[in-house]
A and B are shown apart, each in its own frame.
Chain A
Amino acid sequence: MAPPRDLFHKRRPIFTCSRPAAPFPPPGEGPSWGRMSGPESSIVQFANVGLRYGTDREVLSDVSFTLYPGSFYFLTGASGAGKTSLLKLLYLAQRPSRGIISMFGEDVITAERRALPEFRRRIGVVFQDFRLVPHLSAYDNVALPLRISGMSEGKLEKPVTDMLEWVGLSHRVDARPETLSGGEQQRVAIARAVIARPEILVADEPTGNVDPEMAVKLLRLFEALNRLGTTVVVATHDVHLLRKVPDSLIMRLDKGRLSDPTGALRYPPRREQRAEA
């Protein structure tokens, strides 16, 4: 299920289609991880982020990490560990109670509310419950981000049909979500999340409602997208899934705290050092 090279209708300048399969650029080509210590080279940076709902205790405490362009991350943890809350912060559905979050080199905590849609258009989200618009067909659901961004009907036909073909749903373009199976809905949700060529893809338990075979297929979709340069963050409690993507990094949440004993999520080692290790 290799994605066509011209699948995405527009290219953001920081990515190229010819990016190597490995999530790390070779030494000397592009920034090495050792130099990526500031928000200017990262795509997302959390610093001492805490989140509480109302006056309850914090569901996330002192969460600090950095996401770099083109990497693949798994976010794991038991139920109630705060995975969904962390993802909500990532796709800007929630503001933190404290801490600093910068995305794409800009502080999103102090960003004006009216500036947030522009950030959100650079983030693709696959919701756990899909959240397809029930009265729209698969085609129209996938086209939604492009319509939101103002693309004309004529221009969006090809990317949407190509995307539906990529996820294996070219025969279901007119189907409403209620007539699609769980796996098909999931693929429509993924197609919708990536159609506008986001810089970050956030997926909340994307394999939670599908059989193991389909779960692997979906993961391959994410990998293919990642190879095209998109930073992927997948929240899952399925530990078997973690082994399926060899070069992925794992973020483990435990009772709202991020396990990062080596500091690798905040200060990732240079690729050379990783290779030596």
Chain B
Amino acid sequence: MSAPSPIRKGAPRFGDSARMMQHGRIAGPMPWVIAIMIALTVMAATAGLALANVAGGARAEIAGGLTVQVVEAAPLERNRQAERALSWFANREDVASVRRVPDDELAALIEPWLGELGTGAEDGGVPVPALIDVRLSGPVTAARLEQMRQGLARQAPAARIDAQASWLAPVFDAIRSLQLLAVGLIVLLAATSAAAVWLSARSALGANRETIETIHHLGGTDGQIAAIFQRQIAFDAALGGAAGLLLGLAAVFVLGQQFADLGSGLVAGGGLGAADWVLVGAIPLVGMVLAVITARYTVISALRRML
């Protein structure tokens, strides 16, 4: 045998999609479509996770928090009822901490709105309720709050109790809506990616129909033919996924820097933890799996129409 060995380094095996199919990988739009989809998914996912962390942090901070106001115009009576309320809370086992907000602190709180008029009605100032900050050892339930209201009314009839969480309920609702929006976006992006892969696989099937028929006639199975497309789309998805992840992370980094500059306590709680980063890093892998499954389903469905 004088011919050189036909087994060359990198010789195509059956299913080597780069050689078997007519279209190159990079030349097609699929990696770039996947890159854009993954980048958008990374941004949506990081936003959703950050919002979850913001909400979680805020909930933890105000969980079990109560604000007691003693609304009494007469300063002496207000002080008397405030002391009795303070003592009543201090003697309860389910109270983790209790403190009366000092008058100076109160005056500083309302100073931006009322000026330096003072807080005592006897001084010609505005009568300001006495405030008591209570932290319970467990979460504040409606039953627990009602039971405390009844108990406190006997000690300080002018006292009103409010759960701090109820004030932030609209904020939590808004955050939850944004989280749902992020999830919806991710679902839509996944569906769009699957549709793009479906279209690409159909197009590749059409372009390579003759080759596919030949492989069929040589005894190739649907699984073997589908594997060609799976490998190609897996490569495209891996390439696009890596580019999309980098693009998405760059956008998240820039946005993160800008939000960090706001200096808001609420926003500061929106940082991502290690588990969150693992989830974000898994997005390209999930995208690749989704693309491969979609390609396989598309190709197998189309091949089943052939004998």
Chain A positions within 8 Å of B, measured between CB atoms, are 91-95, 113-114, 116-118, 120-121, 125, 127, 131, 133-137, 139-140, 144-145, 147-149, 153, 157, 160-162, 164-165, 170-171, 173-174, 192, 196
Contacts and interface: CB of A to CB of B under 8 A. Distances in A.
B211 interface: yes
B254 interface: no
B144 to A, nearest CB: 65
Contact of B215 (A91, A148, A165): A148
A117 B221 contact: yes
Given A120-B218, A147-B13, A148-B220, A136 B3 contact: no
26 contacts: A93-B213, A114-B221, A114-B222, A117-B221, A118-B219, A120-B217, A121-B218, A133-B211, A133-B214, A135-B19, A135-B20, A136-B19, A136-B20, A140-B12, A147-B13, A147-B14, A147-B15, A148-B219, A160-B6, A162-B1, A164-B3, A164-B6, A170-B1, A171-B2, A173-B3, A174-B4
Contacts of A134: 22, 211
B2 to A, nearest CB: 7
B223 to A, nearest CB: 9
A133 B220 contact: no
A139 B5 CA distance: 10
Interface of B: 1-7, 11-15, 19-22, 210-211, 213-222, 224, 304, 307
Given A135-B20, A148-B14, A165 B3 contact: yes
A157 B11 CA distance: 12
Contacts of A136: 12, 19-20
Contacts of B220: 117, 148
Given A161-B3, A173-B3, 15 more contacts: A93-B213, A95-B307, A113-B304, A114-B221, A117-B219, A117-B221, A131-B210, A140-B12, A144-B218, A148-B220, A149-B219, A153-B13, A162-B1, A165-B1, A165-B3
Nearest to A146: B14
B2 A116 contact: no
A170 B3 CA distance: 6
Contacts of A131: 210, 213-214, 217
Grouping DSSP codes into helix (H, G, I), strand (E, B) and loop, the A interface class, with mixed when no group exceeds half, is helix
Contacts of A95: 307
Contacts of A117: 216, 219-221
Contact of A148 (B12, B19, B213, B224): B224
B22 A93 contact: no
A93 B307 contact: yes
Nearest to A174: B6
Interface centre among A125, A134, A161, by most B CB within 10 Å? A161
Contacts of A160: 6
Those 8 A-B pairs whose CB atoms lie nearest each other, nearest first: A147-B14, A121-B219, A139-B6, A120-B219, A170-B3, A173-B6, A117-B219, A131-B214
B23 to A, nearest CB: 10
Nearest to A141: B214
Nearest to B219: A121
Contact of B20 (A133, A137, A165): A133
Nearest to A170: B3
A157 B5 contact: yes
A136 B6 CA distance: 12
A149 B221 CA distance: 10
Contacts of B2: 170-171
Contact of A93 (B5, B6, B217, B221): B217
Contact of B3 (A114, A120, A140, A171): A171
B215 A144 contact: yes
A161 B1 contact: yes
A94 B1 CA distance: 40
A145 B219 contact: yes
Nearest to A130: B214
A196 B213 CA distance: 18
B283 to A, nearest CB: 34
B248 to A, nearest CB: 35
A164 B3 CA distance: 10
A173 B307 contact: no
A157 B218 contact: no
